[in-house]
């Protein structure tokens, strides 16, 4: 598994926030900020859209850094991904991701 696979199984290399960060694309930051503001019901500004990846050392968006319950849980448990957690089958946090994203589920099951 690459370092770009998030704790929840999503592929950070495909994340528009990461792409905007590594390409320094301000138009993409604006697009992501608008979409995330609607999705999360919070004001997210383009300057907040900076992230290198969930499990990588470096800058994170405010959501990924401190509000993502999945990331916080995995860090507390000191696990590489949720695929390493014995509670994954009953976890309400990660189930929101893997029930809607078969690729994420598949990545975690490979663990």
- In angstroms, rounded to a whole number, what is the distance separating the alpha carbons of residues 59 and 53? 8
pLDDT tens digits, residue range 22-48?
Answer: 999 999 999 999 999 998 888 999 999
Judge whether residue 111 has pLDDT over 70.
no
Do 82 and 88 meet the contact criterion of CB atoms below 8 Å apart? Answer: yes
- What is the structure's pLDDT at 98? 94
Does 110 have pLDDT greater than 80? Answer: no
Rounded to 10°, the helix 16-23/26-40 angle is 150
Q: How many other C-beta atoms lie within 10 A of the C-beta of residue 34?
A: 13
pTM: 0.86
Q: Distance between CA atoms of 35 and 39, rounded to whole angstroms?
A: 6
pLDDT at 62 exceeding the cut of 70: yes
């Amino acid at each position: 598994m690459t370092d770009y696979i998030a704790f929840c199984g999503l592929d950070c290399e495909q994340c528009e926030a990461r792409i905007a960060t590594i390409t320094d694309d301000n138009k993409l930051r604006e697009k992501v900020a608008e979409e995330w503001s609607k999705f999360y019901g919070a004001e997210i500004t383009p300057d907040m859209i900076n992230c290198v990846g969930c499990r990588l050392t470096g800058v994170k968006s405010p959501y990924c850094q401190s509000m993502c319950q999945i990331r916080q849980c995995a860090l507390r448990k000191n696990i590489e991904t949720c695929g390493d957690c014995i509670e994954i089958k009953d976890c309400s946090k990660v189930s929101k991701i893997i029930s809607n994203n078969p690729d994420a589920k598949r990545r975690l099951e490979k663990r």
